Structure 1
Amino acid sequence: MFRSTADAEIRQALATYSPGSTRGAQHAGYTRVCLQLFGLSGHGKSSLINSCLCVVKNDVFSNTARSANSNVTITMARKEYKLANCVYIIDNRGLNTLAEEEVLELSAQLNNLRMASSENEEATGKDSDVEWEPGVEKILSHLDELINKNCTDFLVPVLVYNLKSTIIQKNKQQFEKMIDTAYGATGLHPIIVLTKHEPYYSIGKVVYQFTDLGCLHIIPLENYTPQNPRRNPETDEKILNFLKVCLQEADRLIQRKHNPDLRKVMMRKIAARIVSEEEKMKVQLESLKKELQTTKEKVKDEMLKKMFKFFCYFLLTCFIIASNYLAYKTKQA
């Protein structure tokens, strides 16, 4: 395996890291830094986790996070993987439509109002699928448990984006809302990881678009995959530097203003707001269902009326034809 001095130093820093330690704020009350990955389906979130795991451990590649073989998704649950004693990386179901309910679910996750299963729980089949639909009100039944468990986790938002995609150009407003959601939840603009970085793909335009949305850290790198598992020093260095940036950003904010006690208050307020938003969405959904049902009934009534008129015209036409035929036969006789 590769053992450059710089890489070894970053690995050692990861092994001894505690939240806030790079800024002398290790007593701020946080116990873990969690890199929360999010992004569209098939853009390389699970592959990034596999890459980080093998590079941090300086071991051969393993498809631990079960990345797919193509631009499709197989991750359906929120799962965490341990990189170091105090550093975790969290996989997630990919976004599909960037619809309002997906952004709302993202807000719940980035505010740590969703449980994440561990690797051990995944092995025993205890991980739960993420569903992009209203349902966060279930959180309220065990809110205290969630807050006490998760308020000492500091989340760093990481948006994984496939450079071959053009969706940011077509859906800039939705991306802006998603990035604002991440910033509002964590105090950090997402760190952007650009995957599928091949020589014939220009990254300049994509970098500009993310920069325009407020993102300062944009990192192009090629993930290791089951089809390309062979590690190389250049990719190792990029992955370790990506992790270094994540921890530096976390510590910058931990030092500035974050502490777990304030986080508890914020989590309660945010949970209440999310539930309120979901209630509005439910009301809107019920209203749309009623409108749809009313429209269906109207269409059905109109169709029945038209069919009745057509049937009447048909009978009348048949009667006229029969009458004329009988009159003709009578005249012939």
Structure 2
Amino acid sequence: MDIRQLKDNIRNFSLDDGDLGSQGYTRVLLQLFGYTGHGKSSFINSCKYILEGDENFEEHAEARETDHGLTMVRNAYPLTNVITMVDNRGCSKMNDFERAEVYAQLGNFIPIGEKVEWKDNYSAMMEAIENTELEPNFSDFIVPIFVYSVRQQISAEEMQDVKTFMENCVKMTGVFPIIVLTFKMKGDYQVIEKQFRLIGAETVIAIENYTTESNIKTLERTTDILMVIDSALRNVRFRLEQPRDPRRERIERKKFMYNYIHQIQLQHEREKQEIEKSEREKEGKKQEEEKKEKCTLL
């Protein structure tokens, strides 16, 4: 498929194209996730640069080539009247509650345009989810996209995190996340691609983003970036061939979040009890030793 056809497919995409119509969806939401500094914002800038046809490169999403991300607010960037990209807050190393916040973004339980703050307790997270019931969003068709820089060597722990993330994406959205490998020319992307495929990734696409310093459009670079969006839309078309209920799906996402947060709370309580038990045992041993010392002196 050539560039012109890819662009036409994206620009002319409609949720009403299938036999069953839109089924209540009004927008395709391409949700970007990943660790900080891996190129999510740059990917958004590249997509807009290509699709809007501007000759001058513009930074719509603030980005920089470091390992420390800038995105704190969950920002949306329309690509067409139907397709919007969301730059979600990344994280450097996830703990349990940060993982829950990632899923809250994925499930649209954090409003677009709102600052994402890592919460550290069960009550705060439950309250935040309940607050979204004031204006529930169920009309976005969510497609998750996970962005990873090939400049980084992915650890076994990170790979397990990503594997779990992919599985939970399917549970929450019905769609396997598209894996986008950034900085294609600055690492061995084929090795990283193989690692992702070994944990079950269905679609892995390596790209080189356009930047302020490197913005001369080339055939391969442009095609790779467009293929990511085209792959996302093919997932949407496939899922819309089956009966869907956006309201019911949002309820199921909410159930997933409640259960996920509840399990975190239970785990933390178990860990707390283990620590308290260990401290009691240490204190008991200490007292026993003190008694023995007193007996010896007598």
Q: TM-score range by the shorter chain?
A: 0.7 to 0.9
3-state SS of the aligned residue for 1:141?
helix
Identity, % of aligned pairs?
Answer: 25
- 1:144 and 1:263 map into 2 onto residues whose CA distance is 14
Residue of structure 2 equivalent to 1:185? 172
Q: Give the partner amino acid of 2:14.
A: S
Residue of structure 2 equivalent to 1:109? 105
Residue of structure 1 equivalent to 2:44? 49
Q: How does 1:123-134 map to 2 (within 5 A)?
A: 127-131=114-118, 133-134=120-121
Residue of structure 2 equivalent to 1:17? 13
Please say if residues 136 and 274 of structure 1, whose CA atoms lie closer than 8 Å, have aligned partners that are also in contact.
no
Residue of structure 2 equivalent to 1:245? 231
CA shift, 1:132, in A, is 5.4
- Range with bigger deviation, 239-248 or 261-270: 261-270
- 1:284 and 1:30 map into 2 onto residues whose CA distance is 41
Structure exhibiting the larger radius of gyration computed from Cα positions: 1
Residue of structure 1 equivalent to 2:24? 29
- The answer to whether residue 62 in structure 2 is matched with residue 66 in structure 1 is yes
Please say if residues 146 and 177 of structure 2, whose CA atoms lie closer than 8 Å, have aligned partners that are also in contact.
yes
Q: How does 1:219-230 map to 2 (within 5 A)?
A: 219-230=205-216
- 1:103 and 1:243 map into 2 onto residues whose CA distance is 25
Aligned pairs, how many?
282
| 1:231–1:141 CA distance, 2 compared to 1 (3 A) | same
- The answer to whether residue 42 in structure 2 is matched with residue 7 in structure 1 is no
Please say if residues 108 and 274 of structure 1, whose CA atoms lie closer than 8 Å, have aligned partners that are also in contact.
no
Hey, which of these two has a bigger chunk of helix by percent?
A: 1
Q: Give the partner amino acid of 2:62.
A: R
CA shift, 1:280, in A, is 2.7
218, 222, 225: which one pairs with 1:236?
222
3-state SS of the aligned residue for 2:165?
helix
3-state SS of the aligned residue for 1:37?
strand
Over residues 135-177 of structure 1, what are the superposed CA-to-partner deviations in whole Å (9 max), with x where a residue is unaligned? 3212343243343xx2110111101011111124453322221
Q: How does 1:263-302 map to 2 (within 5 A)?
A: 263-280=249-266, 283=269
Residue of structure 2 equivalent to 1:142? 131
Over residues 193-238 of structure 1, what are the superposed CA-to-partner deviations in whole Å (9 max), with x where a residue is unaligned? 111111x732332222211222111101100122223322321222
Q: Which runs of 5+ in 1 are unaligned?
A: 118-126, 306-333
3-state SS of the aligned residue for 2:101?
helix
- 2:247 and 2:109 map into 1 onto residues whose CA distance is 16
Q: Give the partner amino acid of 1:188.
A: V
TM-score w.r.t. structure 1 length?
0.75
Q: Give the partner amino acid of 1:137.
A: M
- 1:226 and 1:133 map into 2 onto residues whose CA distance is 37
- 1:97 and 1:75 map into 2 onto residues whose CA distance is 15
CA shift, 1:285, in A, is 7.1
Residue of structure 2 equivalent to 1:260? 246
| 1:70–1:188 CA distance, 2 compared to 1 (3 A) | same
195, 206, 211: which one pairs with 1:209?
195
Residue of structure 1 equivalent to 2:151? 164
- 1:56 and 1:248 map into 2 onto residues whose CA distance is 18
| 1:141–1:107 CA distance, 2 compared to 1 (3 A) | closer
Q: Which runs of 5+ in 2 are unaligned?
A: 291-298
3-state SS of the aligned residue for 1:104?
helix
Q: Give the partner amino acid of 2:164.
A: K
CA shift, 1:25, in A, is 3.6
